[in-house]
A and B are shown apart, each in its own frame.
Chain A
């Protein structure tokens, strides 16, 4: 199937082209990788990224401050409404006691903590289904937490032998509610209320995507703040009598400052720096709260006021500008230059020229000049000629890309291996993709060379379309996703549909998706089919030799 003499003839005729193209492409690749690796071209990107990260942090800080402020005020309101409904809670106590006593009398045993918990659950279920707590402004989940927590404290006190003051006392012959009992109930109530706050804050943070520890810490802080608020309420009374705004602000500022200091203590910053940072974060949160207050006073809704108070740089910019900047910050410049520019355009150009010239020389050129006569006047089948020439073309291409792969891997290693923005796997896939692209192009050029007897047709149709593909890829680059949206002209993406190189999907490779795999398959199929057509066509045509 393969003629050794013809193979060596093709090698001798084309080795200089091969060597030139291979050396030039390898050198280009090595320079691109090494130079890029040492330039730190991601600096601008990183600082942009920092701005946005900081903006995000600031926004979170402001949000926390406003939320905490809200929490402080709402705690007071919530607790106040609970106190107003204290009679209802007293009923809870007696319901629980009656049930426990009844069961204990029936069975003659003291109930364990677990058995009491069952009763607590039953009572809770009953109350929630009756909808009584809706009047307190508590939803089902909150209500469950509140009642369970309240009754559990009460039950634990009973079990632990805490002296519970009697509900009523006789004063001067009259039976009145025991004030000590009320104080006791209020304490339990406060505990349960804080439990609700804690629980809500925890769930809130988990839902926002924070991890377990962070959420627990945040819940602790919320509980503390809420506790402060209730203590303050106990001293100063109802919000209708006393304005809590300033107190709330001060409390929040203190909490924010303490939190910042705590979180930065292990960051390696000096105490002075931490203090400074804490002050600035205090100022930021303070500003946010003031803004929030001011907006609320203007009569806007809570949501609106909150969004005004918490907006960061990126919120202040026009959405398009903000998106473009943040995209620029997230752009992978190495991926763009090495993947989309080198492997899809610059690095393909010379191998393309090689393939166009050589595939033309292998068949059409020899038929056109007539030198093919010397091969075909010997006992060599046409099929042998085509398979030999195809084998040479593939061998040349494969060895070229094998070398390119070695050079690219070494270059990446020199630059710093996996610390480099592009890892070994990606660079290998780039090489494989570029090889498959060239395989498809080689198949197509070979087919043209086999079909046409004249160099001019073979070159213009085979080579012309190949170069057309490359030019379309260059133009299409301005419309593709790799170019930042600020520079992108999406209409130019049209050119990508005209180019075979589009099947080499560097974006998918860098993005870690698997779409590039079926596109590789398409490239391989194009190559195989065109090579087969070329081989069969050459068997059947007239040769002017």
Chain B
């Protein structure tokens, strides 16, 4: 498939280890690509580069083969955007804003916009300044989606929406996905991304740590089960069977086992003879996947770098303090000596 968006070793260094570093990824046509990461990890900065609002320091960002900085205007013909920070122009109400926006985009047929308004249960006649956060978010979504363009860039689009509305919004995203649109979205909610995305990138301190393929995650050929036994003997006995134990909690007579799908019947057959307290499947979802990734990364250079820097700063401060204290002591001494001399 054609690569609609291609980012190669993109770097924007704001100093003090802030910014984004050596970001590379590609999004194919019709794919939904997600970004997840803590606050300030650099998701928005990447999206701003895609929109051509920021100029890359290093590397290149190509959208539909065009340079996102130089040809940013040309690219906008194919891109719609929901910004992360919702602030509207100084206009009277939502309707005026949407009409103005339609004029700017060049949309004349408002039927799709009206469909979106109905779907999101938005009252656009409300005063823009008095809108709640959710309403603003909905207005922003309508303003972007009504353009009906091929590429959609969403910066934490579901924040502020109530749970029901979030469902509706995700439905909407899936609808767009069905239409064959390429969507890039950032979020802090794993379930959101899991539901809609094909691929999700985890960003930490401005670096992509991992890119997970959701389809692969969902269609893994094995499952995890957690089993608790009523009796200790049985627990010990089960452990002797050749199951792959991922987690072992001796205190509670609990084990978590990883089992290939084809062996699932064998497991239940084995378990028939045991007196169980409970058995439950442990879902290996995106969240868990990334937690695993992070736990392995903890020793990696990023953390070390961070921490060593922090320590360095601390030690510098300490040194300064020590110096100050020493200086004071020396001064005090000198004064004393002066007095004594007198």
Q: A376-B53, A378-B76, A545-B83 are in contact. Are A9 and B105 (CB under 8 A)?
A: no
With A13-B90, A371-B87, A542-B54 known as contacts, the answer to whether A377 contacts B79 (CB < 8 A) is yes
In chain A, positions 412-464 with a C-beta closer than 8 Å to chain B are none
Most buried by A among B51, B90, B103, B105: B90
Chain A residue contacts of B53, Cβ below 8 A = 373, 376, 542-545
Q: Tell whether, in the assembled complex, residue A544 and residue B48 are in contact, meaning their CB atoms are under 8 Å apart.
A: yes
Whether B101 and A374, one on each chain, are in contact in the complex, defined by CB atoms closer than 8 angstroms, is yes
The proximity string for B residues 101-115 relative to A, scoring 1 for CB distances below 8 Å and 0 otherwise, is 101111000000000
Asked whether any CB of chain B lies closer than 8 Å to the CB of A517, the reply is no
Q: Which of B75-121 contact A (CB under 8 A)?
A: 76-77, 79-81, 83, 85-92, 96, 100-101, 103-106
A108 to chain B, nearest CB (A): 111
* Interface contact A370-B85, CB-CB below 8 Å: yes
**A2 at interface by CB-CB < 8 Å:** no
Interface string of B253-295 (1 = CB under 8 A from A): 0000000000000000000000000000000000000000000
Within 8 A of A (CB), among B48-91: 48, 51, 53-55, 72-74, 76-77, 79-81, 83, 85-91
A373 engages B81 (CB within 8 Å): yes
Contacts of B90 in A (CB 8 A): 12-14, 361, 371
B46 at the interface (CB under 8 A from A): no
B72 to chain A, nearest CB (A): 8
B53, B79, B88, B147: most-surrounded residue (chain A CB, <10 A): B53
Contact indicator B87/A369 (Cβ below 8 Å): yes
Number of chain B interface residues as a range? 20 to 34
Q: Contacts A377-B79, A543-B54, A545-B48 given; indicate if A9 touches B100 (C-beta within 8 A).
A: yes
Task: Specify the chain A residue showing the minimal Cβ separation from B144.
Answer: A377
A27 proximal to B (CB < 8 A): no
Q: How far is the CB of B247 from chain A (nearest CB, A)?
A: 44
Contact of B106 among A377, A379, A381 (CB under 8 A): A379
- Which B-chain residue is minimally distant from A545 (CB atoms)? B53
Q: Is A377's CB under 8 angstroms from B51's CB?
A: yes
* Assembly CA distance A374 to B54 (angstroms): 16
Q: Does B143 contact A (CB under 8 A)?
A: yes
A5 — which chain B residues lie within 8 A by C-beta? 100, 103-104
Interface flag for A320 (CB, 8 Å): no
A371–B89 CB distance below 8 A: yes
In the complex, which residues of chain A have a beta carbon less than 8 angstroms from the beta carbon of B81? 373, 377
Min CB–CB distance B155 → chain A (angstroms)? 9
Q: Which of B73, B86, B101 contacts A379 (CB 8 A)?
A: B73
- B116 CB to closest chain A CB (Å) equals 16
For B77, list chain A residues within 8 Å (CB): 379
Q: Provide the residues of chain B in CB contact with A366, threshold 8 Å.
A: 89
Asked if A84 is at the interface of the complex by the 8 Å CB criterion, the answer is no
| Cα distance A22–B223 in the bound complex, in angstroms | 74
| Residues in chain B near residue A540, CB distance under 8 A | 55
> Which listed residue, B80, B87, B88, B103, touches A377 by the CB 8 Å rule?
B80
Contact A545 B96 (CB under 8 A): no
How many angstroms from the CA of A8 to the CA of B89 in the assembled complex? 12
- Asked whether, in the complex, the Cβ of B144 is within 8 Å of the Cβ of A13, the reply is no
Q: Are B96 and A12 touching (Cβ within 8 A)?
A: yes
CA distance A540 to B55 in the complex (A): 8
For the complex, give the distance between the alpha carbons of A12 and B79 in Å: 27
Contact B51 A374 (CB under 8 A): no
- Tell me which residues across on chain A come within 8 A of B106, comparing CB atoms: 378-379
Query: How far, in angstroms, from A542 to B73 measured CA to CA in the complex?
Result: 15
A9-B76 contact given A375-B104, A543-B53, A545-B48, CB 8 Å threshold: no
Contacts of B83 in A (CB 8 A): 370, 373-374, 377, 545
Let me know if B87 and A380 touch, CB within 8 A: no
Whole-angstrom distance between the alpha carbons of A371 and B90 in the complex?
A: 9
A374 to B81, CA, bound (A): 8
Q: Beta-carbon contacts of A39-74 to B below 8 Å, as 1s and 0s? A: 000000000000000000000000000000000000
Is A3 an interface position by the 8 A CB rule?
A: yes
A13 and B91 within 8 A (CB): yes
* Docked pose: A391 CA to B55 CA in angstroms: 27
Beyond A373-B51, A377-B76, A377-B81, 18 extra complex contacts between A and B, CB < 8 Å: A5-B100, A5-B103, A6-B104, A374-B83, A374-B104, A374-B143, A376-B51, A376-B53, A376-B76, A377-B79, A377-B83, A379-B74, A380-B76, A382-B73, A542-B55, A543-B48, A543-B53, A545-B83
Q: Which 5 A-B pairs have the closest CB atoms?
A: A369-B87, A13-B90, A5-B103, A377-B81, A370-B85
B-to-A contact residues, CB < 8 Å: 48, 51, 53-55, 72-74, 76-77, 79-81, 83, 85-92, 96, 100-101, 103-106, 143-144, 147
22 inter-chain pairs at a CB distance below 8 angstroms, sorted by A residue, are: A3-B104, A5-B100, A5-B103, A5-B104, A12-B90, A12-B92, A13-B90, A371-B89, A373-B85, A374-B88, A374-B104, A376-B53, A379-B76, A379-B105, A380-B76, A380-B104, A382-B72, A382-B73, A542-B55, A543-B54, A544-B53, A545-B48
